[in-house]
Amino acid sequence: ITQKALGSALHRYMSSYGSGRRLSEHREKLMKGGGERAIYQHTQRKKKFLVRERLHMLLDDEDYLELCPFAGLGLPYGDVPSASSVAGIGKINGLWCVFIANDATVKAGLTFPISVTKTLRAQEVAIKNRLPCVYLVDNSGVFLPLQSGLFSDKNHAGRFFYNEAVMSAMKIPQLAVVCGTCIAGGAYAMVMVEEAVIVQRIGTVALAGPPLVKAATGEEVSPEDLGGAKLHTEVSGCIDYFASVESEAYQCSRNIITTFNFELPEESITEVEGPLYSAEELMGLAPKSYNYSLDIRLVDRLTDGSRLQEFKARYGTTLLTGFARVEG
């Protein structure tokens, strides 16, 4: 593309938005998400972080490339700011990743046709550039009045799950953080990834919520009992990591990124962090009788910095599994 052609295209793009002032107005509108009332309910009543606050805790810094920020404006069925999600490319623990984060202040994070288009575009960027993909899932399912426009083509909603399977086959790691309600398609999304984290009392995963269960079977059940953090980390095993609060979930996610081995360290690295505790003490810690067992968590005397990213800590508790570095 010549510089002249690029300049001409940019001029047409800016002209379509009018002046720079109008562009700023659009951006300011998008930053407000679903509006003051929705933000109040999201933060005060539901005690959840806003989507950009979540990204601030997940990413290395505030500098990231946002994809399709103006998607969802001026549609026939009204405005859907940022297509009810924030997508982009940023660094997580030094590794470039694509992220797709639902904004539940925009119509409860419902999926609209434009939401699907934006999500598929972000996944396409991840596939073409072989970038790990992180999903922050806070999705109430499909906007039912427009569901006829969501599943009628190969590039509609079902393609999202197809792309997840393709990325897994290509060995492109994917991670999901359940930081809100995940209903129907939102539930499928997070169980198809390599690893998933859920936030207690905030994250829930179910094919249908309590109201639909009540309507279908007459049974009354709470969101937590139906698909909460305790159920999915201790009983179903669908989710790998349990977080007591949101901030812990994003720190856990950052730690998981370091275990992907997606970019191996350079061979020239010679300094290796040793365990905090000496392996020479292992014999002294061994039980004298078979009536007692050895605490298997003594692996902290073998791993670098005595760190272990424990996998499914609450599921099958007689077995310890996890990720760690040994000699770098």
Range from 23-37, 73-87, 102-116, 217-231 that averages highest in pLDDT: 217-231
Mean of the pLDDT values across residues 206-216? 90
Same domain, yes or no, for 40 and 25?
A: no
**What CA–CA distance (Å, rounded) separates 207 from 227?**
9
Same domain, yes or no, for 80 and 138?
A: yes
CA atoms 164, 207, 30, 70: torsion sign: positive
**pLDDT score at 125:** 96
Q: Would the pLDDT of 137 be above 60?
A: yes
C-alpha distance from residue 271 to each of 140, 264, 301, 305 (Å): 47, 15, 18, 12
Mean model confidence pLDDT for the chain: 87
Same domain, yes or no, for 83 and 44?
A: yes
pLDDT tens by residue, 148-161: 777 767 788 889 99
Tell which residue, 175, 193, 140, 177, has the closest CA to residue 54: 177
Mean of the pLDDT values across residues 98-109? 92
Same domain, yes or no, for 255 and 309?
A: no
Same domain, yes or no, for 117 and 18?
A: no
Provide, rounded to the nearest whole percent, the portion of the chain with pLDDT above 70.
Answer: 91
Mean of the pLDDT values across residues 162-188? 92
Same domain, yes or no, for 24 and 155?
A: no
**pLDDT score at 5:** 67
SS3 for the chain is: CCHHHHHHHHHHHHHHCCCHHHHHHHHHHHHCCCCHHHHHHHHHHCCCCCHHHHHHHHCCCCCCEEECCCCCCCECCECCHHHHEEEEEEEECCEEEEEEEECCCCHHHCECHHHHHHHHHHHHHHHHHCCCEEEEEEECCECHHHHHHCCCCCCCCHHHHHHHHHHHHCCCCEEEEEEEEEECHHHHHHHCCCEEEEECCCCEEECCCHHHHHHHHCCCCCHHHHHCHHHHHHHCCCCCEEECCHHHHHHHHHHHHHCCCCCCCCCCCCCCCCCCCCHHHHHHHCCCCCCCCCCHHHHHHCCHHHCCEECCCCCCCCCCCEECCCCC
Q: Would the pLDDT of 49 be above 80?
A: yes
Same domain, yes or no, for 116 and 182?
A: yes
Same domain, yes or no, for 232 and 142?
A: yes
What band does 147 get if pLDDT is binned at 50, 70 and 90?
confident
Q: Which two tokens stand for residue 289?
A: 């009788």
Same domain, yes or no, for 238 and 293?
A: no
Domain extent, residue 118, equals 34-260
Mean of the pLDDT values across residues 90-100? 95
Mean of the pLDDT values across residues 59-84? 89
261 touches 218 (CB < 8 A) = no
Q: Domain total for the chain?
A: 3
Does residue 191 lie within any of the structural domains?
A: yes
Q: Which two tokens stand for residue 257?
A: 């990124």
Same domain, yes or no, for 288 and 244?
A: no
C-alpha distance from residue 275 to each of 260, 295, 297 (Å): 21, 17, 13
Provide, rounded to the nearest whole percent, the portion of the chain with pLDDT above 90.
Answer: 52
The backbone torsions φ and ψ at residue 247, rounded to the nearest 5 degrees and listed phi first, read -60, -35
What band does 216 get if pLDDT is binned at 50, 70 and 90?
very high
- The owner of tokens 């003594």 is 298
Mean of the pLDDT values across residues 263-292? 80
Does residue 225 lie within any of the structural domains?
A: yes
Does residue 265 lie within any of the structural domains?
A: no
Mean of the pLDDT values across residues 53-80? 91
Q: Would the pLDDT of 198 be above 70?
A: yes
pLDDT tens by residue, 12-43: 655 555 556 777 777 777 777 778 888 888 88
Q: Would the pLDDT of 237 be above 90?
A: yes
Q: Which two tokens stand for residue 107?
A: 């119509």
- The owner of tokens 């073998």 is 302
**pLDDT score at 245:** 95
Same domain, yes or no, for 320 and 239?
A: no
Domain-terminating residue out of 237, 260, 283: 260
Residues near 4 by beta carbon (within 8 Å), at least 6 away in sequence: none
The residue that leads in pLDDT, 32 or 204, is 204
CA atoms 178, 260, 310, 272: torsion sign: negative
Mean of the pLDDT values across residues 161-181? 95
Which range is least confidently modeled, 8-17, 39-48, 139-148, 165-174? Answer: 8-17
